[in-house]
Amino acid sequence: MSAIDREGAEELLYREALALDSGAWDDWLALYTEDATFWVPAWRDEENVTQDPDSELSLIYYQGRRNLEDRVWRARSGLSVASKPRPRVVHAITNVLLLTANDAQARTSSSFAVHLYDKRSERTHVFFGRYEHALRNEAGDWRIAAKKIVLLNDVIPTVLDFYSI
């Protein structure tokens, strides 16, 4: 086993992006560890996001991949008018930095812009912000153990789902 390098980390981030863009949500889930944290903090004020998910509000906060599985189930269920027809999205990820890395884990920061086109509402939107990924080596496979998404334009036009950020 060896530490992940920046290229390897980028590869993982881009694979996550492609899975979300193409609606390959099982592939997307498979990139996460079972105990993964998925966190989109809300904003306290104009300049600061919330820091403590237990005492402050988040847009999304889940501990455990099974909660992401629930989101995927709902999006596919045919029982949610907001989820179908599925908007078209493309994740553009840049400025990837490897912050720390050893054999067992790594942390990255990156920037994202998700271009979204919702045919039904005739709405085009760009959600943008920063990602922080915590990666973990699970028996030779690098997986996402935590993802924090700082969404900079947080006035949500009607819907934001896991694939829009």
Q: 164 with 127: CB under 8 angstroms? A: yes
What residues form DSSP beta bridges with 39?
Answer: 61, 148
85 is an interface residue for other proteins by CB under 8 A: no
- Residue 36 C-beta: closest distance to other proteins, Å: 10
Helix (H, G, I), strand (E, B), or coil: what is residue 60? strand
102 is an interface residue for other proteins by CB under 8 A: no
H/E element holding 150?
Answer: strand 141-151
DSSP 11: H
According to DSSP H, which parts of 33-119 are helical?
65-76
* Of positions 32, 61, 112, 163, contacts other proteins by CB under 8 A: 61
Of the chain, the end-to-end C-alpha distance in Å amounts to: 32
- Residue 1 C-beta: closest distance to other proteins, Å: 28
Q: 147 with 58: CB under 8 angstroms? A: no
80 is an interface residue for other proteins by CB under 8 A: yes
- Residue 76 C-beta: closest distance to other proteins, Å: 10
Q: Going residue by residue from 122 to 161, which x/- string records binding to other proteins, judged by CB under 8 A?
A: -x------------------------------xxxxxxxx
- Contacting residues toward other proteins, per CB under 8 A: 35, 40-46, 49-50, 53-64, 66-67, 70-71, 73-74, 77, 79-83, 121, 123, 154-161
